[in-house]
């Protein structure tokens, strides 16, 4: 018998598989096609203080081995998530869920994190620092150590649950940003968010996406994600949730060897709704193939 369990900031998961924010809604849509309680947990749709319609369409562009999206954090707002989405989720998901929080100012992050921290269903808070700082000239909070640390410190001051800072790969030195977050009190790191990309329509000679650029995700970015997780594992002592291009069980093992305690699956859910289910069911076979008796034993094993 193989042991697929891992522990994430004191909470035991049956397995390390977590659907990534923005690819799994609030869970109950997927609960109609399979029992989502088989998941380790999942990260729900990125939530902001106010409801957001998101960016103009088209928002999606297909790519070889991936996709570009510029959805623009469309969500019903934090009050609606607490009042309507979480009660609906509770009917079909009976484990702690990961709350994904975004903001356009420090005050927004603090407001949303303080609100969601009080929700019994929430086990961890994943803080997306890839949003543009409206008071800082539009530059993302996650592109420099100082601003990422500022967000971390502010949300830690108003929360009791583990805080995972979700980092952007669109930086020169991701390890220094992760270390700054750790020093500011982060309980873990989620990485990587999407890479910046674009496509151009040859017929009208214009960018495919109305926003011109968007987040590139899919299997093509796996080597970049692995490299960054490997680097951050050597820089910090806190757990890492690794993501970026994960679509197979072998990818999961590779990401854990690089240093991830748990693994998020993103774009693959949009291609194959059963992606996470298939990976979880395949874990024992792949573990036996590579003579792995316990997943916890291989975290960081490539170092």
d(CA 167, CA 25) in angstroms, rounded, equals: 20
163-166 and 188-191 strand pairing = parallel
**Do residues 252 and 246 touch, judged by C-beta distance below 8 A?**
yes
> For this structure, is 131 an active site residue?
yes
* Type and span of the H or E element at 101: strand 97-101
The CA distances from residue 196 to 76, 141, 169, 214, 278, in Å, are: 25, 15, 9, 6, 29
66-69 and 240-243 strand pairing = unpaired
Which of 77, 111, 113 has its CA nearest to residue 98?
113
Torsion on CA atoms 147, 149, 151, 154, rounded to nearest 10:
-130
Taking residue 41's Cβ as centre, other Cβ atoms within 10 Å add up to 26
| Backbone conformation region of residue 273, classed left if phi is above 0, alpha if psi is from -120 to 50, else beta | alpha
d(CA 64, CA 244) in angstroms, rounded, equals: 15
Query: Please, where are the H alpha helices in 46-185?
Result: 78-80, 86-90, 106-117, 145-156, 174-183
Catalytic residue among 112, 113, 131, 181: 131
User: Which residues are catalytic, by number?
Assistant: 131
């Amino acid at each position: 018998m193989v042991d697929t369990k891992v522990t994430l900031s004191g909470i035991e998961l049956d397995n390390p598989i977590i659907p990534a924010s923005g690819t799994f809604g609030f869970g109950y849509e997927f609960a109609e096609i399979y029992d989502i309680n088989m998941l380790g947990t999942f990260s729900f749709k990125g939530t902001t203080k106010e409801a957001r319609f998101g960016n103009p369409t088209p928002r999606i562009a297909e790519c070889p081995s991936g996709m570009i999206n510029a959805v623009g954090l469309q969500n019903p707002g934090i009050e609606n998530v607490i009042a309507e989405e979480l009660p609906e989720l509770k009917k079909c998901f009976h484990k702690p869920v990961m709350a994904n929080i975004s903001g356009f100012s420090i005050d927004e992050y603090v407001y949303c994190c303080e609100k969601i921290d009080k929700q019994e269903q929430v086990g961890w808070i994943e803080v997306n620092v890839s949003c543009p700082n409206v008071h800082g000239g539009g530059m993302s909070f996650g592109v420099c150590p100082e601003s990422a640390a500022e967000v971390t410190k502010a949300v830690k001051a108003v929360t009791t649950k583990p805080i995972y800072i979700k980092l952007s790969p669109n930086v020169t030195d991701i390890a220094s940003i992760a270390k700054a977050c750790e020093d500011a009190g982060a309980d873990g790191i989620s990485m990587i968010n999407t890479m910046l990309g674009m496509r151009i329509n040859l017929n009208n000679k214009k960018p495919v996406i109305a926003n011109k650029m968007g987040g590139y995700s899919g299997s093509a970015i796996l080597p970049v994600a692995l490299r960054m997780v490997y680097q951050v594992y050597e820089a910090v002592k806190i757990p890492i949730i690794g993501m970026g291009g994960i679509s197979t069980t072998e990818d999961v093992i590779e990401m854990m060897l690089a240093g991830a305690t748990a693994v998020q699956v993103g774009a693959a859910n949009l291609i194959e709704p059963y992606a996470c289910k298939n990976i979880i069911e395949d874990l024992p076979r792949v573990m036996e193939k590579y003579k792995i008796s316990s997943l916890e034993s291989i975290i960081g094993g490539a170092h």
